[in-house]
Amino acid sequence: MTLQHAPAPTTPHGGPSLPQERRLVTAIPGPASQALMARKSDAVARGVGMTMPVFVAAAGGGVLVDVDGNSLIDLGSGIAVTSVGNADPGVVAAASAQLEQFTHTCFTVTGYEGYVEVAEALNRLTPGDFAKRTALFNSGAEAVENAVKIARSATRRSTIVAFDHAYHGRTSLTMALTAKSMPYKRGFGPFGAEVHRAPMSYPFRDGLSGAEAARIAIERIERQVETDEIAAVIIEPIQGEGGFVVPAEGFLPALADWARAHGIVVIADEVQTGFARTGAMFASEHFGFEPDLVVTAKGLAGGLPLSAVTGRAEIMDAAHAGGLGGTYGGNPVACAAALAAIAAFEDGLVDRAREIEAIALERLHAAQAGDPRIGDVRGRGAMLAIELVDAATGRPDADLTRRVAAAVHAQGVVLLTCGTDGNVVRLLPPLAIGDDLLREALDILCAAIANA
Ligand SMILES: Cc1ncc(COP(=O)(O)O)c(C=O)c1O
């Protein structure tokens, strides 16, 4: 660790010109972050938590610079958002140019080309070689809500099936779809009705083939509800908050085949997995999974709020004219940013995610070989996870996970955890991170596990 006793620099500018280094000039958090934390406690609702008590002044490439002048390695990308890199120059230029033209019209009042261009790009890029349509929204949860509305409108049915460990957001309906109570649901009910839950393929825990896991899931669904009442099944092709659970080969296609045989709309929630993150443009591609509707957000606009539902034209067009929308959905600045981000995803970032996977997996598998507490190393591309367990019992070890994260944070690395049992460390670096920074962060993580 370099602990330089230098005064905090004047506010740095973000983007990749920011020195790509880990640099600690204070303990984490430093005094300026602590002062802001105190103001936050007085001004911001308690329910709005923070993973690290650190406030950011600038960010770029693979680093965040805090208000004390510490430069932190970013393994979180603001939860899989700044995949293209923080303050990416292409995104900044496109958004800035749009800001100077106009900031808002409300697309449902008067249109603009950027919205249509984003829709065209998503129709082209999402899985499935069929006619598609897209509608744009602001957040992942809002897009999930709209995917459900569209599926209900197309099928004239109401029931939705979601999975164990699922996370789909924090709005009323998406809380109902989300599996985990704390911190997402407790005290916030009642939740949207007519949601049924099925077991997810979780190879590390269930040891089942994809076909067997699908058979069990389908059996469970059919025991709970009549298939002709089900509007949609919604699933994350690789689960995010639930623990980066990668289903066994064959699970997703078997589910899709069953759904189609019963006229049920298949919705892939690619909010966290989309846009090169997993070493494919969309995670569905890894599994030969062709959903009817795909929900995207996060990485789509390089840090600006934008989300989408894209899917089969006949399903998307089932909603009546005027039935979909919202004041800010498909904001022109966010659309301009998205077009720049999409150009970057198509220009080598899918391959970059695979390079990150190779570097990280080599290091993580080496650590796993010598440590029975690293129960599983899994994921794809730059969406990788370690599941930590008690060496004696094999049970999830959330306490160990908390200690590891705290040690890594203290060393100046932004690291997130997840999992229904709170025992999964997840890696979501910006795809713009350099090899050296990535290796340094992995060394810090592996040392933290070894010493915890
Ligand atoms: C798979 C998935 N769906 C939906 C959401 C909700 O997105 P948002 O937080 O933008 O509402 C998330 C957010 O983490 C997510 O990971």
Would you state the pLDDT for residue 2?
45
Pocket test for ligand 1, best of 83, 160, 168 (most atoms within 8 A of CB): 168
> 76: Cβ below 6 Å to ligand 1?
no
- The minimum-distance atom of ligand 1 relative to the CA of 142 is 11
3-state secondary structure of 209: coil
Pocket test for ligand 1, best of 238, 298, 428 (most atoms within 8 A of CB): 298
Inter-residue contact 385 to 423 (CB < 8 Å): no
Which amino acid, one-letter code, is at 405? A
Would you state the pLDDT for residue 165?
98
Query: How far is residue 10's CA from residue 147's CA, in Å, rounded to a whole number?
Result: 45
> 184: Cβ below 6 Å to ligand 1?
no
Q: Which two tokens stand for residue 305?
A: 């709020």
Which amino acid, one-letter code, is at 84? V
Distances from the Cα of 69 to the Cα of 51, 55, 167, 350, 363, angstroms: 19, 10, 35, 32, 29
CA of 202 to the centre of ligand 1 (A): 20
- The minimum-distance atom of ligand 1 relative to the CA of 236 is 1
Q: Which two tokens stand for residue 83?
A: 């995949």
Inter-residue contact 118 to 330 (CB < 8 Å): yes
Which amino acid, one-letter code, is at 172? S
Q: 42: part of which helix (H) or strand (E)?
A: helix 31-43
Alpha helices in 197-278, H assignment, sequence order: 203-206, 210-224, 251-261
CA of 314 to the centre of ligand 1 (A): 26
CA of 144 to the centre of ligand 1 (A): 9
CA of 26 to the centre of ligand 1 (A): 33
Distances from the Cα of 102 to the Cα of 95, 329, 336, angstroms: 11, 15, 11
3-state secondary structure of 278: coil
CA of 328 to the centre of ligand 1 (A): 18
Whether pTM > 0.85 for this model: the answer is: yes
pLDDT tens for the 452 residues of the chain, in order: 444 444 444 567 888 889 999 999 999 999 999 999 999 999 999 999 999 999 999 999 999 999 999 999 999 999 999 999 999 999 999 999 999 999 999 999 999 999 999 999 999 999 999 999 999 999 999 999 999 999 999 999 999 999 999 999 999 999 999 999 999 999 999 998 899 999 999 999 999 999 999 999 999 999 999 999 999 999 999 999 999 999 999 999 999 999 999 999 999 999 999 999 999 999 999 999 999 999 999 999 999 999 999 999 999 999 999 999 999 999 999 999 999 999 999 999 999 999 999 999 999 999 999 999 999 999 999 999 999 999 999 999 999 999 999 999 999 999 999 999 999 999 999 999 999 999 999 999 999 999 99
Would you state the pLDDT for residue 6?
43
Query: How far is residue 136's CA from residue 115's CA, in Å, rounded to a whole number?
Result: 8
SS (H, E, C) the chain: CCECCCCCCCCCCCCCCCCCCCEECCCCCCHHHHHHHHHHHHHCCCCCCCCCCCCEEEEEECEEEECCCCEEEECCHHHHCCCCCECCHHHHHHHHHHHHHCCCCCCCCCCCHHHHHHHHHHHHHCCCCCCEEEEEECCHHHHHHHHHHHHHHHHCCCEEEEECCCCCCCCHHHHHHCCCCCCCCCCCCCCCCCEEEECCCCHHHHCCCHHHHHHHHHHHHHHHCCHHHEEEEEECCCCCCCCCCCCCCCHHHHHHHHHHHCCCEEEEECCCCCCCCCCCCCHHHHHCCCCCEEEECHHHHECECCEEEEEEHHHHCCCCCCCCCCCCCCCHHHHHHHHHHHHHHHHHHHHHHHHHHHHHHHHHHHHHHCCCCEEEEEEECCEEEEEEECCCCCCECHHHHHHHHHHHHHCCEECEEECCCCCEEEECCCCCCCHHHHHHHHHHHHHHHHHC
Which amino acid, one-letter code, is at 243? G
> 272: Cβ below 6 Å to ligand 1?
yes
Q: Write down the residue that tokens 């958090």 correspond to.
A: 29
Query: How far is residue 344's CA from residue 88's CA, in Å, rounded to a whole number?
Result: 10
Inter-residue contact 175 to 184 (CB < 8 Å): yes
Q: Is the link from the previous residue into 183 a cis peptide, with omega within 30 of 0?
A: yes
Give CA 14 to chain center in angstroms. 23
CA of 451 to the centre of ligand 1 (A): 33
Would you state the pLDDT for residue 414?
98
Which amino acid, one-letter code, is at 87? A
CA of 61 to the centre of ligand 1 (A): 23
